[in-house]
Amino acid sequence: MKFISILKKKLPVIIAFLVITLCAGLIIETLIIYFHGTDGAIYSREIAKNGLGHFLPLLVLLLVLVLLAVIWHIPENNQVLKKSSKRKRIPQQAVGKKKHLSAKIYILIYLAGLILIIVGIYNGGLKDVLIKAANICTECIGLG
């Protein structure tokens, strides 16, 4: 029982430590794979599987601890690393007021947006978007 109460108290810190270890481990493993590989043969499905496999027990442990935290109703904001600044009284002039513009201005803005879209469709902008979106952007996903 004492062990469980200590575990409940320390659980967020243990989870934090596991998260940092897991992420650091993944980064180090990635760098090892990268620097060991040769041009055109750095990564493969088997290397990826083996690499991730090393961290599977850690990931399972993390999931178990998170599940325990959920069962024990440990809140997500259990502790703070740095205290937030004291609640400040906001000066009157700084109070946020939604600046709802007049209806005419909104209509003008929407009209401008519609005109831009229509002109864009006619000058080929729509086709540009479709061509780029309908093909895999190899740069965007890191394939070079």
User: Does 114 sit near other proteins (CB under 8 A)?
Assistant: yes
User: Does 38 sit near other proteins (CB under 8 A)?
Assistant: no
Distance CA 113, CA 121 (A): 12
Judged by CB under 8 A, which of 1, 71, 74, 102 binds other proteins?
74
Judged by CB under 8 A, which of 6, 7, 27, 59 binds other proteins?
27
Judged by CB under 8 A, which of 1, 45, 57, 71 binds other proteins?
45
CB of 56 to other proteins, least distance (A): 15
3-state secondary structure of 75: coil
Distance CA 121, CA 126 (A): 5
Which amino acid belongs to residue 30?
T
CA distance between the termini of the chain = 55
- Among candidates 22, 35, 89, 110, which has minimal Cα distance to 62? 22
With residue 137 as reference, give the H or E element that holds it.
none
User: Does 32 sit near other proteins (CB under 8 A)?
Assistant: no
C-beta of 2 vs 86, nearer to other proteins: 86
CB of 103 to other proteins, least distance (A): 9
User: Does 104 sit near other proteins (CB under 8 A)?
Assistant: no
Judged by CB under 8 A, which of 4, 7, 42, 64 binds other proteins?
42
Distance CA 85, CA 103 (A): 39
User: Does 144 sit near other proteins (CB under 8 A)?
Assistant: yes
